[in-house]
Amino acid sequence: MLFGGVLGALQWLVVRERVPVPRKAWITANVGPALLAWLLVIMPAVTSAQDSHDNVSTAYLLAASQSLALGPLLGLSQSLVLRKVTRRWAWWIGANLASWLIVDAVVYLLSLWSKDLDLFTGDGSIVEVYVTLIATTPLTGRALLWVLAPSALGHK
């Protein structure tokens, strides 16, 4: 929820410069998917690890890295807000998915090269999880500017 709230607040600072989107609607569109990913992906993995006496921190790291679903969930949720102001709203879903796939692929390839980056094996750190989450920002940010370009604004 913290990630969704911070991401939503920071994105809204950019979005509001292009279109009149209510802050509450935009931040809620970020917190909802983050909460869903937490409840449906991360918590079950942690609970399962705890019940089986496995390493809970490893389960958390694996679940967080598997929350690739967060990209499309964010894109879908945010697109419902963007739908009212841009004709390119549907592209936002794909842009989120693509950015998360690209970042995960790069992190995976880097982990093959360096054993210090073990996010996908469960031996990584929480810092690696957040770096991976933050690394999507430049890609999604650029896509957001395209989705909100003046030529795309207006209803469907």
Of residues 127 and 75, more confidence is placed in: 75
Q: Which runs of E-coded beta strand occur in the chain?
A: none
Quickly list DSSP for 7-64. HHHHHHHHHHHHS---HHHHHHHHHHHHHHHIIIIIHHHHHHHHHTT--HHHHHHHHH
| Per-residue model confidence (pLDDT) at position 3 | 72
* Mean pLDDT, residues 111-119 taken together: 66
pTM of full prediction above 0.85: no
**Considering only CA atoms, which of 124, 142, 104 is closest in space to residue 55?**
124
pLDDT at 32 exceeding the cut of 80: yes
> Domain ranges in the chain?
2-152
